[in-house]
Structure 1
């Protein structure tokens, strides 16, 4: 087999070869030697790739941050509408205050890239995943709304898909079992979690590498 001169390869090309080359190849040792001789370039390239990945993730987090601030406004409006129609209660008032504060703080920390507090956004989205109507209890929390996949348990077992705009928290207890009973999962909340968690991991990694100026980052 002809030995390959890797000295003319770019870092991207070297890393691509490393991912695909057979370790038993006669060129494997030559490849490792080239990577070793250019380890500073490789390290800088990896940092740049991680920074690009972080920027993409943070753009998604920024959108989620603004959505949470908007959700706080929508929840507040929904609550005042319930006050006007007489359905507000002490419990709904207390829950509304908590949810509005949670959405505002989570939203602002996400917008300002305070990654140490991203757990607030993660918590906020996680709380929105399950929605239930079981027995005599119905409970649902949504920032703005969601796209739901449901397992209907009554009146018959079936699967369903639904989307709704329903800001805030609703908890009802009925005197008898509900005719329609289901467990729903909010797919949008799961997608938002999928955007938040990688951003935290990437930012922690870059911080440990001492490449982020702490004065301008969370």
Structure 2
């Protein structure tokens, strides 16, 4: 599928599309399991934390701060409120560490953005905590590539509709690139726009689909630079 004559605007997801993100959460979860191992098995703790995260998404949204609050809540639940103040302090410290992690760009990111810069309107379309996402964008040194930066609380079809209206962009001219089928791909295809799925080595289970997705406006890539073959 060649897209050169159709696309004017290319939007990129940020976390785990342009830079490393989910592995840091996975590492924090393993630390959490270690701290609470006296109360439940690793599998039970992981399931309990995931349940708390999903339950609280409407309240906290996506991001590190909500994740830390969910770990604290889960620690109280699994310990029947016997968790020590020392463990709670360590969980808070884990959050501080997460919020200060350096940005690690994924392979080929700058190469891809350089090749597309000036040929298309490049957009950064990410979701999560506003302050933390701004920090990551600044520290990535990629902000100068983007015509517009959109930080959403969530990525549903309505959120992309608002973005397209803001950009004065028709769906057939819009192309979304990301690693999450639920957040980056499905909502965009619902609008009859184009999308490219770039799998990452690890993706939060809440962002995954149970079955493969096939669509005539979806392309699947192995790496981000593979996008250049279609544009």
Q: Same fold (TM over 0.5)?
A: no
Larger relative contact order (CA 8 Å, sep ≥ 6): 2
TM-score by length of 2: 0.30
Structure with the higher fraction of residues in helix conformation: 1
